[in-house]
Amino acid sequence: MVENFDEWFHDILENANITDSRYPIKGMAIWMPYGFQIRKHSMNIIKKLLDKDHEEVLFPMLVPESELAKEGIHVKGFEDEVYWVTKGGQRELNEQLALRPTSETAIYPMYSLWIRTHMDLPIKYYQIVNTFRYETKHTRPLIRVREITTFKEAHTAHSTKEESDEQIQDFIAIYKEFFDELGIPYLISKRPEWDKFPGADYTMAFDVIMPNGKTLQIGTIHNLGQTFAKTFDITFEDKDGEHKLVYQTCAGVSDRVIASVIGIHGDETGLRLPPKVSPNQVTIIPILFKKGKEEVLAKCAEIKAQLEETGLRVNIDDRDIRPGKKFHDWELKGTPLKLELGPRDLENNITVAMRRDEGKKIEIALDSSLSDNVIDLLNKTQENLSESAWNFQKSHVKFTERLDEIKDLVETGNVVKFHWCGDEAIGRDIEEKTGYDILGIQEEISEGECISGKGNAKYIALMAKTY
Amino acid sequence: MVENFDEWFHDILENANITDSRYPIKGMAIWMPYGFQIRKHSMNIIKKLLDKDHEEVLFPMLVPESELAKEGIHVKGFEDEVYWVTKGGQRELNEQLALRPTSETAIYPMYSLWIRTHMDLPIKYYQIVNTFRYETKHTRPLIRVREITTFKEAHTAHSTKEESDEQIQDFIAIYKEFFDELGIPYLISKRPEWDKFPGADYTMAFDVIMPNGKTLQIGTIHNLGQTFAKTFDITFEDKDGEHKLVYQTCAGVSDRVIASVIGIHGDETGLRLPPKVSPNQVTIIPILFKKGKEEVLAKCAEIKAQLEETGLRVNIDDRDIRPGKKFHDWELKGTPLKLELGPRDLENNITVAMRRDEGKKIEIALDSSLSDNVIDLLNKTQENLSESAWNFQKSHVKFTERLDEIKDLVETGNVVKFHWCGDEAIGRDIEEKTGYDILGIQEEISEGECISGKGNAKYIALMAKTY
């Protein structure tokens, strides 16, 4: 894990061709080609997981003020950070239009039209879109931005509360699988009442501990109950002929997922990308001398073709520069496996493979076993990155029974676990005394004393310095 | 081809689950699940074609007014239809921000930063994004909208004019291949001076004749010369050490591509989707009786698995409704091939295949040849749709030497070809006299008389009623 994470993160985004933050609007950056590919492969994973049981749709980006304002609690949560379109051409619009901060108020008026009977339920739609927040806090690329370029939001409607609770569990399972594929560890908790999504009954969240000890919220899942169903009049005729309100859920992940892939796995040398999302899974580096140059390049092309047949993403770096510079570049860019091939390797019918995560070199034979060996090395890389990340996280969650110990633990990069009674006033008091946020409730317990010293504990709570 | 095309088009979008236009902002619609899949497969084709030699990126959606206003001719072309964000939260912004109508002014300030020497050239980037136009004309879903949800825009920079002209030819070749894969015929022309892209040296355009005889612009390619390079100071140090301005091109396709796929191939019964973009390429319809139901369903699942192995997209319609209703639904939705399977077919080890384009039924054997036979039928469908569409178009382009014949030809659904001298005043006069638009110049010629009767012809021009 890197020292001085914030600086490292800022630099790597530019040096590895991920984003460029010099765009002339603060908090809005450009996805550069290499970063775009990481984003694409990451989104393909979540799409594939969702497509099993959800349908992709696409809603307009603008929301009329009258719709956004309908749900009072919801709009309160967003009104300070909504961008407003007030003019079309030279003319003032009759009604100002919000750049969606999230799409509940764009989608649910349509659910009201689409849902007629229990036969229309459940609806399980999702979209991947850009959303906007007029952030007043300090912005950071991919972490706190004004245009969230990659907001995956799912919105479901159900006929019973039970089904909506099951849907929450389904989303949890999907997100677990998603983050597992990225090798990203997570802490799952139920957000405290005062930190749930505006309008939700309850919010489940995924957080990851970044190398600097701060937690980053990387996924949220909300049971909306019937709040929006009442506001937007989303009703259905049940089997018994009765008209009832639907139960709803929504769930989101954003650009922050990419921030965590970069931040969690990276080291002082650069990125270490999990093979599943790396733009190139294998980079072939020819070692060229005047003599035998053509043969080496021909063999590299052959290896590339052989590996691509199994679906691997492979590139050859045949730039006319020193091999050492090429190694450095691909270490910076985090390609999981490098294959080096020079004239002597060609003679010996071998290639020298180097895993990015470990840095050790091993020789592998250039025969029909090559693809299997490469896939094996990639799988081991994927597992090792994931395991290291989980180990780091596990070693940075510390339990304490003493309020006065929290500060030290958090300031040395830990998330703190403690017993809590669940009372809001006491929770807020703990937050105030320590200066940190309660992430949420990790589990229910039946014994123990609240860390406040004011009664029995009901929960294990998590507390952290958050992004 | 359908009668009363506008009404048909409006209805099919809703009935086939493509878009829903009841969103509470005029000119902005929702992509429904089935439509979204058509859109996705269409975009996958253009992405694949571009990815060979271009890189995908993603720029912010908002453009500062100061950047948008920099290129005078360009901003003139768009200022009446730009949506403006003027407020963030409750506060007025210091500078108003445009919702991109197109991204030249978002991208080129960055090109100015990124391009230093001839080694940085060419740059060939593209993005697929949402763009916005405050349309004052009558809006139509997918054809004239206020949020273009699917704008593929490519932006290139080169060190020489020759290279930029070659890039125009490359884009033409890419678009040809793209439209060929969709079975969409096209007319390629060079837009007249008064209709080129604001800021461009010249504009090449792809138009298709829709069933009602109106042409729809489905792709444009612009040679920007050095106009924007001057405005945004995009220079490079050449091999000879001299600082020079780059030459630029850009090229775009939009939602209209999907409009043409739907409009061109559809018939009175519904959609007829080219296999390459159809959400389901094969729909299996089990014919179920109480007896033998399980066996038939098991065989359907087996067929599905067999076909999916070859990469085909297959669904089984096992809804508990009459088979006739299922047939009707999938004809409406345009699935290219239906396979019907009942107990008797199972006994005979055959399935009854029905192509959507022809409607004829043929029996095919349920053995190892099945996949090959299905792929063959899909290929024939693809070819037949394409050929029919090209035949329609060819029969609706008519040459005339008489100005007074144009009106009749256009009003009976044709695009008119005629000889033209190329003079702007005369061109505009022809437009005024006929009431139609000159699409552009199809080819140069060396003899013949201008249709105006006022001199020699230099070009064959195309004239049409346009969307």
Tell me: pLDDT of A449 over 70: yes
pLDDT reported for residue A95: 97
Which has the closest alpha carbon to A63: A25, A30, A35, A102? A102
Q: What is the mean pLDDT of residues B134-155?
A: 95
Q: What is the mean pLDDT of residues B431-442?
A: 96
- Render pLDDT for A176-202 as a digit per residue (tens, 0 to 9): 999 999 999 999 999 999 999 999 999
Q: What are φ and ψ of residue B261, in 5° steps?
A: -60, -45
| Cβ atoms of B426 and B408 closer than 8 Å | no
Q: What is the mean pLDDT of residues A270-290?
A: 97
Structure tokens at B195: 């209709």
User: Testing the interface with A: which of B31, B78, B84 to mutate, by most A Cβ within 10 A?
Assistant: B84
Domain with CATH 3.40.50.800 in chain A: 282-378
* Measured torsion, CA atoms of residues B120, B123, B128, B130, in degrees rounded to the nearest 10: 80
Of B56, B58, B83, the CB nearest to A88: B83
Give me the CATH code for the B282-377 domain, please: 3.40.50.800
DSSP state, B228? H
Whether B96 sits inside 8 A of A87 (CB atoms) is: yes
Contact with chain A for residue B324, Cβ under 8 A: no
Question: What kind and span of H or E run contains B83?
Answer: strand B83-88
**A202-207 contacts at long range (C-beta below 8 A, 24 or more positions apart):** A204/A168, A204/A171, A204/A172, A205/A439, A205/A440, A206/A175, A206/A179, A207/A439, A207/A462, A207/A464, A207/A466
For A56, the closest chain B residue by CA position comes to B33
Could you tell me how far CA A2 lies from the centroid of its own chain?
Answer: 20
Which has the closest alpha carbon to B353: B333, B328, B335? B335
Tell me: pLDDT of A464 over 80: yes
Residue type, B29: A
pLDDT reported for residue A71: 85
Residue type, A260: S
Q: What is the mean pLDDT of residues B440-464?
A: 95
Whether B147 sits inside 8 A of A109 (CB atoms) is: no
Interface predicted TM-score of the whole assembly (ipTM), two decimals: 0.96
Whether B81 sits inside 8 A of A88 (CB atoms) is: yes
Architecture of domain B5-265: 2-Layer Sandwich (3.30)
Partners of A36 on chain B (C-beta within 8 Å) are 55-58
CA distance B236 to B254: 32
Structure tokens at B262: 């739907």
Contact with chain B for residue A64, Cβ under 8 A: yes
Q: Collapsing DSSP states into helix, strand and coil, what is residue B413? A: coil
> Percent of chain B having pLDDT more than 90?
95
pLDDT reported for residue A397: 98
Of B20, B60, B147, the CB nearest to A30: B60
B:129-148 residues touching chain A, CB 8 A cutoff: 130, 132, 134, 136, 147
CA distance A261 to A269: 15
Domain with CATH 3.30.110.30 in chain B: 397-464
DSSP state, B118? G
Contact with chain B for residue A78, Cβ under 8 A: no
Half-sphere exposure (Cβ direction) of B451: Cα atoms closer than 13 Å: 28
> Percent of chain B having pLDDT more than 70?
100
Contact with chain A for residue B311, Cβ under 8 A: no
CA distance A451 to A420: 6
| Cβ atoms of B85 and A83 closer than 8 Å | yes
Tell me: pLDDT of A1 over 80: no
Sheet holding A83-88, edge to edge: A62-64, A91-99, A83-88, B83-88, B91-99, B62-64
Instruction: Give the contacts of B168 (CB within 8 A, at least 6 positions apart).
Output: B204, B221, B223, B249
- What residues does B286 pair with on adjacent strands? B341
A:81-110 residues touching chain B, CB 8 A cutoff: 81-90, 96-97, 99, 106, 109-110
The length of chain B, given as a count of residues: 467
Tell me: pLDDT of A454 over 70: yes
Partners of A33 on chain B (C-beta within 8 Å) are 55-57, 125
Whether A28 sits inside 8 A of B60 (CB atoms) is: yes
Instruction: Give the contacts of B169 (CB within 8 A, at least 6 positions apart).
Output: none
pLDDT reported for residue A83: 97
User: Testing the interface with A: which of B83, B92, B131 to mutate, by most A Cβ within 10 A?
Assistant: B83
Parallel, antiparallel, or unpaired for β B350-355 and B215-225?
unpaired
B:144-183 residues touching chain A, CB 8 A cutoff: 147, 149
Give the minimum alpha-carbon distance from B35 to chain A in angstroms, rounded to a whole number. 8
Structure tokens at B75: 């901003």
Domain with CATH 3.40.50.800 in chain B: 282-377
Could you tell me how far CA B287 lies from the centroid of its own chain?
Answer: 38
> Percent of chain A having pLDDT more than 90?
96
Banded pLDDT at B139 (limits 50, 70, 90): very high
Whether A33 sits inside 8 A of B23 (CB atoms) is: no
Could you tell me how far CA B464 lies from the centroid of its own chain?
Answer: 19
Whether A84 sits inside 8 A of B81 (CB atoms) is: no
Whether A22 sits inside 8 A of B113 (CB atoms) is: yes
Parallel, antiparallel, or unpaired for β A83-88 and B83-88?
antiparallel
Instruction: Give the contacts of A466 (CB within 8 A, at least 6 positions apart).
Output: A207, A214, A215, A216, A217, A436, A437, A439
- Render pLDDT for B281-340 as a digit per residue (tens, 0 to 9): 999 999 999 999 999 999 999 999 999 999 999 999 999 999 999 999 999 999 999 999
**DSSP output for B364-412:** EESSTTHHHHHHHHHHHHHHHHHHHHHHHHHTTEEE-S-GGGHHHHHHT
Which has the closest alpha carbon to B334: B41, B3, B49, B21? B41
CA distance A206 to A186: 6
Residue labelled with tokens 């703190």: A416
Could you tell me how far CA A62 lies from the centroid of its own chain?
Answer: 24
Parallel, antiparallel, or unpaired for β A459-464 and A202-209?
unpaired
Give the minimum alpha-carbon distance from B150 to chain A in angstroms, rounded to a whole number. 10
CA distance B420 to B380: 40
Parallel, antiparallel, or unpaired for β B282-286 and B314-316?
parallel
Q: What are φ and ψ of residue B62, in 5° steps?
A: -95, 145
CA distance A206 to A47: 18
Which has the closest alpha carbon to A164: A246, A73, A46, A74? A246
What does pLDDT average to over chain B? 96
CA distance B31 to A268: 44
CA distance B167 to A235: 55
User: Testing the interface with B: which of A30, A36, A129, A147 to mutate, by most B Cβ within 10 A?
Assistant: A30
CA distance A195 to A198: 8
Give the minimum alpha-carbon distance from B274 to chain A in angstroms, rounded to a whole number. 21
Architecture of domain A397-464: 2-Layer Sandwich (3.30)
H, E, C per residue of chain A: CCCCHHHHHHHHHHHCCCEECCCCCCCCCEECHHHHHHHHHHHHHHHHHHHCCCEECECCCEEEHHHHCCCHHHHHHHHHHCEEEEEECCEEEEEEEEECCCCHHHHHHHHHHHCCEHHHCCEEEEEEEEEECCCCCCCECCCECCEEEEEEEEEEEECCHHHHHHHHHHHHHHHHHHHHHHCCCCEEEECCHHHCCCCCCEEEEEEEECCCCCEEEEEEEEEEECHHHHHHCCEEECCCCCEEECEEEEEEECCHHHHHHHHHHCECCECCCCCCCCCCCEEEEECCCCCCHHHHHHHHHHHHHHHHCCCCCEEECCCCCCHHHHHHHHHHCCCCEEEEECHHHHHHCEEEEEECCCCCEEEEECCCCHHHHHHHHHHHHHHHHHHHHHHHHHCCEEECCCHHHHHHHHHCCCEEEEEECCCHHHHHHHHHHHCCEEEEEEEECCCCECCCCCCECCEEEEEECEC
- Render pLDDT for B55-84 as a digit per residue (tens, 0 to 9): 999 999 999 999 999 988 888 888 899 999
Q: What is the mean pLDDT of residues B139-147?
A: 96
Banded pLDDT at A227 (limits 50, 70, 90): very high
pLDDT reported for residue B71: 85
Instruction: Say whether domain A282-378 belongs to CATH 3.30.2130.30.
Output: no
pLDDT reported for residue B1: 60
Tell me: pLDDT of A329 over 90: yes
- Render pLDDT for A41-65 as a digit per residue (tens, 0 to 9): 999 999 999 999 999 999 999 999 9
CA distance B197 to B194: 9
